[in-house]
Amino acid sequence: MTDRRGRPPHDDQLTPAEWRVVELVRHGMTNPRIAEQLGVSVDAVKYHVANALSKLGLNDKRALRLWNGVSKASALHGKELEMTGLTLGPIGQIARTVRDIKKAEIFYKEKLGLPHLFTFGNLAFFDCGGVRLFLSQGDGDESASIIYFRVTDIHAAHHELSARGVKFTDAPHLIHKHEDGTEEWMNFFEDEEGRPLAIMAQAAA
């Protein structure tokens, strides 16, 4: 009799745990930051990264950041690219670094009265009249804001901008899934001075 103990096989390239780690790798996070975000050990993150690299035939995390795969559980899986000409939408988000996300959340929500959209780990999002304010906890340059442009099809936009010579630093990746199943996707690139910009999109379940 065959011993079938252990975890069941997954009908996808990666397991759900591996996908969660890969999306954060593609978002540019370090192993310690990923561990903190997911509430796991750094060794667990390294284990999932190593498994993903092996399964996908990739050499390192840099290659993983640029890998353009989509989970079968995503609303974007199997979706054909909308190759109808790229139009960047209005500015959808501006990012700002804060030292203490909990204090910042109270300040922006209670003192400034901005509608709080959601918080995910050390990331908090607020609505500023249709433009989203993204706060992240860290020690980086607080003056360096990132402009995020809304697009309807993030993979088609990635394809067309790449063809125009735009240098992307990662692949389109899922950063959050709301309770109603709506997905938040992002993809980062550089301007002519090497400063970060991004495209963003939502995908309904």
Over residues 93-152, the pLDDT tens digits come to: 988 888 888 988 988 888 888 899 998 888 899 998 899 989 888 765 555 678 888 889
Let me know if residue 22 belongs to a domain. yes
Let me know if residue 3 belongs to a domain. no
Domain with residue 161: its CATH number is 3.10.180.10
Its domain, for residue 26, covers 16-66
Residue 83 confidence class, pLDDT cut points 50, 70, 90: low
Let me know if residue 123 belongs to a domain. yes
Q: Is 187 in the same domain as 97?
A: yes
Q: Is 197 in the same domain as 157?
A: yes
pLDDT of residue 72: 92
Least confident of 17-26, 58-67, 90-99: 90-99
Residue 107 burial by Cβ neighbours in a 10 Å radius (0-12, 13-18, 19+): middle
Helices (H), the chain: 16-26, 31-38, 42-56, 61-66, 101-106, 154-163
Q: Is 196 in the same domain as 97?
A: yes
Let me know if residue 83 belongs to a domain. no
Q: Can you give the pTM of this predicted structure?
A: 0.69
Residue 2 reports pLDDT greater than 50? no
Residues whose CB is less than 8 angstroms from the CB of residue 39 and which lie 6 or more positions away in sequence, other chains included: none
Let me know if residue 128 belongs to a domain. yes
Q: Is 189 in the same domain as 106?
A: yes
Measured distance CA(17)–CA(130) in Å, rounded: 33
Number of structural domains in the chain: 2
Degrees, nearest 5: CA angle 112-113-115: 125
Q: Is 96 in the same domain as 173?
A: yes
Let me know if residue 155 belongs to a domain. yes
Q: Is 112 in the same domain as 174?
A: yes
Let me know if residue 71 belongs to a domain. no
Q: Is 51 in the same domain as 100?
A: no
Domain with residue 41: its CATH number is 1.10.10.10
Q: Is 57 in the same domain as 129?
A: no
Phi-psi group of 181: left, alpha or beta (phi > 0 → left; psi -120 to 50 → alpha; rest → beta): left
pLDDT of residue 173: 96
Q: Is 138 in the same domain as 187?
A: yes
